[in-house]
């Protein structure tokens, strides 16, 4: 069910602490941790603690929680002293989504080209 922890979900395991991660921020409802394969000097993932499949599902199923995630992207940028940064939600495998627990990528610390690849 939406919002419930999933046994086979990597990010639910990070929330539970059964898989380690370098956590940079935590709130009652969210966790932010460094991406294991960073694509920029700062590459942090912000996730809701509750399991939702992707960003759109999160917004539909728990809009206040979606707002918490967005608020935390700015908090991460502030903490990492990023003047500019990019927030990315990959949705669907064709767009590069590999983990089916909603997450915002916060990328910064270098110039970022537009359009993305
Ligand atoms: P997606 O491709 O779904 O948008 O993003 C998933 C992200 O999770 C990828 O950037 C990938 O590097 C990261 N990732 C995958 N496994 C782990 C892990 O075990 N720990 C951490 N910290 N990041 C992970
Ligand atoms: Zn999950």
Rounded Cα gap, residues 12 and 79, in angstroms: 24
C-beta of 10 in contact with ligand 1 (< 6 A): yes
Rounded Cα gap, residues 21 and 6, in angstroms: 18
Determine contact, residues 105/77, Cβ cutoff 8 Å.
no
Complete domains list, the chain, with CATH: 10-108 (3.30.428.10)
- Using a pLDDT cut of 90, give the percent of the chain over it: 97
Rounded Cα gap, residues 72 and 30, in angstroms: 8
- Nearest protein CA to atom 19 of ligand 1, as residue: 36
Q: How confident is the model at residue 117 (pLDDT cuts 50, 70, 90)?
A: confident
Q: How confident is the model at residue 2 (pLDDT cuts 50, 70, 90)?
A: confident
Rounded Cα gap, residues 25 and 76, in angstroms: 7
22-76 pLDDT, tens digit each: 999 999 999 999 999 999 999 999 999 999 999 999 999 999 999 999 999 999 9
105 is catalytic: no
Rounded Cα gap, residues 9 and 35, in angstroms: 16
C-beta of 9 in contact with ligand 1 (< 6 A): no
State pTM to two decimals. 0.98
Q: What is the pLDDT of residue 1?
A: 75
- Nearest protein CA to atom 17 of ligand 1, as residue: 36
C-beta of 76 in contact with ligand 1 (< 6 A): no
């Amino acid at each position: 069910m939406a919002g419930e922890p999933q046994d086979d979900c990597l990010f639910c395991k990070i929330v539970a602490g059964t898989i380690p991660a370098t956590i940079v921020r935590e709130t009652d409802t969210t966790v932010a941790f460094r991406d294991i394969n960073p694509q920029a000097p700062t590459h942090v993932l912000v996730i809701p603690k509750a399991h939702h499949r992707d960003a759109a599902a999160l917004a539909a199923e728990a809009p206040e929680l979606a707002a918490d995630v967005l608020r935390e992207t700015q908090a991460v940028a502030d903490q990492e002293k990023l003047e500019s940064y990019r927030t990315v939600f990959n949705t669907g495998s064709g767009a590069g989504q590999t983990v089916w627990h909603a997450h915002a990528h916060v990328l910064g610390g270098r110039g970022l080209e537009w359009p993305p690849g």
